Structure 1
Amino acid sequence: MAHPKIAVIIPFFQRKTGVLARSLASIAAQAYPSESLYVLVVDDGSPCPAVQELRDHPPAASLRITVLHQANAGPNEARNTALAGLEPDTDLVAYLDSDDEWIGDHLARAVRALNAGYSAYFANLFHLGDSTNEFDKAKRVRHEDHPSVADDPSLRAYQGDMVHQIATANIIFMPSLVIRVDALGKARFPLAHRHGGGDYLYWMDLIRHGARFVYSTEPEVRCGQGINMWYGSGWGTDGLAMRIVDEARFRRKVLEQHARTEDTKRSLRQRLAELQSGMLQDVVHRLRHRKPVRWQTVRLFYHENPLSLAALKQLFSILRAKLMGGKA
């Protein structure tokens, strides 16, 4: 397929105006044939309505945009709403968040790689404010372990256990993901998980549907604020406790339903113990700094994750180190 029909899915919830315009401009800059491209923006009960954004900041005339509406439910449900609204002859689905931008020839490279016989494509990126790309910064993948595709050393066919990769050192990023509808169109995002883990479980569903992954070593996305909301929740912040709850749910589901090797299972159990310890650390931090504790969230977490001996040992070790260092 020289120019397969692509649907670009954008979940939209913003409190600042003008954000969506940058994402749409980056799509238009891809120079992909307009007759083979359309955009589904899902307004997730946004305080800044998507329709008004399009009126105030008109996108390129070449873009065909449809706005879908739903009551606020989070990005996972918004993406599912868009998947249910795909046009029947759609070949590929590309994901982009409303505050992120594509750079380079993202769509053309994705098409080229997928045409080599693969069903899911993802790419390197720059996180907010970074001048070093994620693959070089995190070093979670050795490109030489994965063969090149289409005589292009910057395109690599992922080899190995992707469940283990995602669970222990994830390398897939939602705003770079492009999938073949005929192979993976039945995969869906899980309900809830609005504080983290929903995209990870979607990738697990892609794997369950037989995804064959190919990726780009070149950065093809520049991320805005949204992706960092999850990573940036520190001790005592309102989002941290619910982030821990949702990450634990994700880890447990992978452990129970997807993990195949003992190495993967051991890593997941270790991470669950760290999350149990992390919830206690957050409570201690809040109490010491006289911040309110969200006891309902804490009770929910430990109801779903009964405190383990490993977590207690880890917590005592961390607290002892902090006390010896004189820091809270």
Structure 2
Amino acid sequence: MPPSVGVVLPTHNRPELLRRALESVLAQDYEGELRAVVVFDRAEPDMSLAGDRVEVIANTREPGLAGARNSGILALDTDLVAFCDDDDQWLPGKLAAQVKALEGEPGAVLCSAGIVVDFDGRELPRLAGTDRVTYDALIRDRMMSVHSSTYVARREPLIEIGMVDETIPGSQGEDWDLALRAARRHPVVNVDEPYVRVLWGLTSYYAQAWETKVAALEWFLEHYPEIGDVPGAAGRVYGQLAFGCATVGRRRDALRWSARALRANPAERRVPFALAVASGAVSGKRVLLALHTRGRGI
């Protein structure tokens, strides 16, 4: 009999998008038990969403995305736990394909899949190019396709590795951290087909919280010091810090991180953006809009 699956949908003040996300989850053609738990974070739960396969709860842990995810995980007793953010959509066939892949790797904690980035109606696929994502690969490359809305995990091992870390500032990058911890135990299994439509852009609740993003990036450098040992990884994170500091007006810090990024990787592409923003030639928002149009980010 196929394993039971519970899907956690954290939400914050996006009722229409949430309903679309929930419909995409419940529409999956899956032979096993499938149910969902919608977790309202810092908002009154909408009990009209509750039904035979849908439980509606409030976040009872740390306010924010990580606490909401963990509230949902602990509310479930299914064999597997999956995530879908309230502004994303699962595409047909996703769950069955990932459960099959996960069952083929008994030691794996986590399975991911490819995504389709939807920015202002323009769709661009993003794939990892592999069926197994290692810890070292995740240190070298953030891999935007290894996205939280694609995650399907074995529930008990997920709890054993600590669930979603609630100490990361603003829950920024919590999916990267979770994938890293899962990959320490066993490579992340990856179904390299675009099975989730990810709504991307400045509509995201956290899209422009750059002070928080900077704090989160510093958290990653502290908790994963090996990032600094890999030139490409170090250049990427330092470049992101430079851009973030420039965006919030911390020009001196932006210049300092830009210099560190170039020392780590002289070809780091984020540095010119950071310097342009720091000089006042362009706004961070305008840079992000241009990148998102191409399915890219900082």
Q: Which residue number in structure 2 is paired with residue 291 of structure 1?
A: none
Instruction: For residue 180 of structure 1, report the CA deviation from its aligned partner.
Output: 1.5
Paired residue secondary structure (1:127): strand
Runs of 4+ in 1 over 4 A off after TM superposition: 225-228, 305-309, 311-315, 319-323
The alpha carbon displacement at 1:10 in A equals 0.9
Aligned to 1:113: 101
In the TM superposition, what is the alpha-carbon distance from 1:321 to its structure 2 partner?
A: 11
What's 1:25 paired with?
A: 23
**Segment drifting more, 190-199 vs 106-115:** 190-199
Q: Residue 110 of structure 1 contacts residue 121 of structure 1 at CA under 8 Å; is this kept in 2?
A: yes
Task: Indicate which of 188, 198, 222 corresponds to 2:197.
Answer: 222
CA displacement 1:136-163 (0-9 Å, x = unmatched):
xxxxx4x3xx4xxxxxxxxx23467233
* Amino acid in the other structure paired with 2:12: F
In the alignment, which of 178, 194, 199 is matched to residue 152 of structure 2? 178
Deviation at 1:175, TM superposition (A): 0.5
Letter in 1 for 2:76: L
Q: Which amino acid aligns with 1:177?
A: Y
1:86-115 deviation digits (Å, cap 9, x = unpaired): 22xx21111111221111211110111111
Question: What is the TM-score with the length of structure 2 in the denominator?
Answer: 0.74
Could you tell me how far 1:51 is from its partner in structure 2? 1.7
Structure 2: 5+ residue stretches without partners? 263-270, 284-298
* 1:71-110 correspondence to structure 2 within 5 Å: 73-87=63-77, 90-110=78-98
Q: Percent identity?
A: 22
Q: Match for 1:108: what amino acid?
A: A
Q: Does 1:310 pair with 2:265?
A: no
1:164 matched to 2:133? no
Match of residue 175, structure 2, among 199, 203, 217 = 199
1:50 matched to which residue of 2?
A: 46
Point out the structure with max Rg over C-alpha.
1
Deviation per CA, 1:230-263: give whole Å up to 9, x if none: 7853xxxxx2232222233224322x3xx38932
- The CA distance in 2 between the partners of 1:321 and 1:100, in whole Å, is 33
**Cross-structure match for 1:8:** 7
- SS of structure 1 residue aligned to 2:30: coil
* Residues 1:70 and 2:69 are matched in the alignment: no
Q: Could you tell me whether the CA contact under 8 Å between 1:276 and 1:311 is conserved in 2? A: no
Q: Any unmatched runs of 5+ in structure 1?
A: 56-60, 136-140, 147-155, 234-238, 285-297
Corresponding residue for 1:38? 35
Structure 1 residue identity aligned to 2:229: E
State the secondary structure of the residue aligned to 1:10.
strand
1:165, distance to aligned residue in structure 2 (A): 4.2
Alpha-carbon RMSD across the aligned residues, in angstroms, is: 3.8
Contact 2:113/2:191 (CA < 8 Å) preserved in 1? Answer: yes
Distance 2:16 2:122 in 1: 22
| Displacement after TM superposition at 1:327 (Å) | 6.0
Q: 1:32 offset after TM fit, Å? A: 2.2
1:269-284 residue pairs with structure 2 within 5 A? 269-284=234-249
- Distance in 2 between the 1:171 and 1:124 partners? 5
Mapped contact 1:121–1:214 kept (Cα < 8 A): yes
Equivalents in 1 of 2:278, 2:243: separation in Å? 15
Task: Give the TM-score of the pair, scaled to structure 1.
Answer: 0.68
Residue 138 of structure 1 aligns with which residue? none
What SS class does the counterpart of residue 122 from structure 2 fall into? coil
Q: Distance in 2 between matches of 1:12 and 1:321?
A: 34
2:227 and 2:234 in contact (8 A); partners too = no
In structure 2, distance between residues paired with 1:69 and 1:327 = 41
Q: Does the CA contact (< 8 Å) of 1:8 and 1:40 recur in 2?
A: yes
Shift of 1:76: 0.6
Partner letter of residue 28 of structure 2?
A: Q
